[in-house]
Structure 1
Amino acid sequence: MAVAVRRSLDKKHMLYVFDVYMPSCERFKEQNSQFGPIEILTTPRDIATKADAVISMVPGPPEVKKIFLDEDTGMIGAPENHNRLFLECSTIDTETARSVAAKVHEAKRGTYIDAPVSGGVPAAENRTLSFIVGHAKREGMSVLDRRLNALILSMGDPNKVFWCGGIGLGLAAKISNNYISCSVLLLIAEAMAIGVKAGVDPKLLQEVIHNSTGQTFMGDNVCPVPGVVAHAPSSNDWKLGFKTQMFLKDLSLGINTARQLDLDPTMAEQAYRVFEKASQDPRCIDRDGSSVYLYITDEQTENGSTDKSEL
């Protein structure tokens, strides 16, 4: 996404970047400086101090609160700027988004808009991401709307921008989508196992499913059998893979939201248990040894569905 933004900007404009893992910033600068100037900063506060448009994406709610609200390093510590636009692309709960948005507004630091994305690494590389935006697009677009639209289109497909109406509603739509995609991936894995173990050629099986009622985006792009779909993580030593542990975060968001709305999340609860077991398998541990934090609510801990822990 950062590469897409740098390539979209006029070469005279500076792009400021920050990541908790500085080698990523250094590698990004080395590989993309030919498209325009890049400056590495050391805190989110520094980014917001220098930029009128900020794009953020972090693992979960605690990290969103930290980068925005931390008294020492958070973006709320930047000078007042009512023109500053925060495009927050993390997949988190709606309550956190609305709370942070309100605090940013009250502090006169700018406008916070939730805009989770979908499409994975391939769509990010090809600038074809879907953006699910917690904002209402109006006729006769305001200056804010035009700036927001231009920022989104530097990374996304213009035919896949969805204006959901207000803060938190983009996230509500994304959570609903992920509820399906996380669960469907398990169905695909089990279905492929059934067919292959029964003797069907895996490539033929995938073709049958693709052209039949079982066809899904996940099956076409994240088929778990190596060598079946050329661009799938399984066919590329999992280099493009979404962390197994992050499925737990996405599913927990769906489970929590459903319960808050007095719905029974039976499918996601079953999927959560499968991914929870998988996430503890040595083959699914982050190769660089870094920690992965799960977003588990107190409610889940109390009802015995899982332990609150750090993997």
Structure 2
Amino acid sequence: MECDISFIGLGQMGYGMASNIRKKLSKNSTMFINDVNSEACERFANEHESYGPIEVVSTAKEAASRAPVLVSIVPAADHVRQVYLDKENGVIAAPPDKDRLILESSTIDVDSQREVGSAIRDAGVGSYYDAPVSGGQWGAAAGTLAFMIGCAEDDPKASQIRQVVSMMSHPDKIFLCGPLGNGAAAKISNNYLSGPFLLAIAESFAIGIKNGLDKDVLANVIRNSSGMSWMGEHMHPVPGVVAGAPSSNGYKVGFRHELMVKDTTLGIEAAEKNGVEPSMARTAVEMYRRAAGDTRTEGLDASSVYKLVFGEE
């Protein structure tokens, strides 16, 4: 793709996403990067300079001003507001350009996405779309993330959005979900399942193993029965069941307990706001909170919740 692109947020997810963009951009295109961590920017530039020009910019305003496409992913809603709505250094301070494509990929609540997106659109700074992702840092690095985008199929920007997102995803994993905020709604709904699913798998295998079942036999049964799930096939909490899962690699952190708490809490808040009783998520979030502070599991991947469920010392 031949187009200058700016990227804000070189964290756990953003680094891999930005890496794929730089690798797939034309060598004639410049990538502008911005992050509060200057060391991350320096490392990214050093590791990717062979793929084409990279420039570090100091503000979100400059990032938006320098390229016709901007992608961002930051930790929380307050960070999104800071990046976009700061009157001096935020995206909203950039020169007006309604053709500027803005894809905001942070996992935040629906109302915040709609608030920020509407402000940017009303200011004429760009065409803003919420575009949260799923697939973890492995998917970010591999360029296989799922994208849930607050964009209608007949939106005039839809084709350009698919072209940009395809550098970080597979065409079959790009979902246009409707109006502004619907991408966030889809992401929150999906995440609502992830935490409870992982905990349920941990409990299920603890039951089976404590009753004498071999873990691989049980995994094969579930894989071919009604209990099969994506989490079980990719993020299995029992060591040795899935070779590439964090559990099989000493629970090396891929998705921290704190992030599971954050994402599941977003689901709880959305449920309560819309009159849905979030009974499963409430139980799950308390378990992940406990795991975040337990000496057996703190600092490990969220799937290490299995240690608490099984009663490992």
Alpha-carbon contact 2:253-2:299 (below 8 Å) kept? no
Show the 5 A alignment for 1:5-154.
5-138=21-154, 142=156, 144-154=157-167
- Distance in structure 2 (CA, Å) of the matches to 1:25 and 1:194: 46
Moved more, 117-126 or 184-193: 117-126
Check 1:121–1:240 CA distance in 2 against 1; reply closer, same or farther (3 A cut). Answer: farther
1:268 and 2:284 aligned: no
Check 1:239–1:52 CA distance in 2 against 1; reply closer, same or farther (3 A cut). Answer: farther
- Distance in structure 2 (CA, Å) of the matches to 1:113 and 1:254: 20
Q: Deviations over 1:63-85 (max 9, x none)?
A: 11111112333211222222211
| 2:3 corresponds to | none
Q: Deviations over 1:151-201 (max 9, x none)?
A: 111111111211111001111111111111111010011112222233322
Letter in 2 for 1:214: G
Check 1:282–1:29 CA distance in 2 against 1; reply closer, same or farther (3 A cut). Answer: farther
Q: Deviations over 1:74-109 (max 9, x none)?
A: 211222222211100111111101110111112211
1:277 and 2:293 aligned: no
Q: Deviations over 1:218-243 (max 9, x none)?
A: 01111112222111112234445111
1:182 and 2:192 aligned: no
Q: Which runs of 5+ in 2 are unaligned?
A: 1-16, 301-313
1:236 and 2:225 aligned: no
1:224 and 2:233 aligned: no
Q: Which runs of 5+ in 1 are unaligned?
A: 288-311
| 2:210 corresponds to | 197
Secondary structure in 1 matching 2:151: coil
Q: 1:170 aligns with which of 183, 191, 195?
A: 183
| 2:266 corresponds to | 253
Check 1:93–1:196 CA distance in 2 against 1; reply closer, same or farther (3 A cut). Answer: same
Check 1:284–1:59 CA distance in 2 against 1; reply closer, same or farther (3 A cut). Answer: farther
TM-score (norm 2): 0.86
Check 1:284–1:51 CA distance in 2 against 1; reply closer, same or farther (3 A cut). Answer: farther
- Distance in structure 1 (CA, Å) of the matches to 2:277 and 2:139: 32
- Distance in structure 2 (CA, Å) of the matches to 1:217 and 1:259: 26
Q: Deviations over 1:245-292 (max 9, x none)?
A: 0111111111111111111111111111111211222455558xxxxx
TM-score (norm 1): 0.86
1:209 and 2:222 aligned: yes
Alpha-carbon contact 2:291-2:298 (below 8 Å) kept? no
Percent of pairs with identical residues: 42
- Distance in structure 2 (CA, Å) of the matches to 1:238 and 1:30: 29
Moved more, 116-125 or 209-218: 116-125
Aligned pair count?
284
Secondary structure in 1 matching 2:174: strand
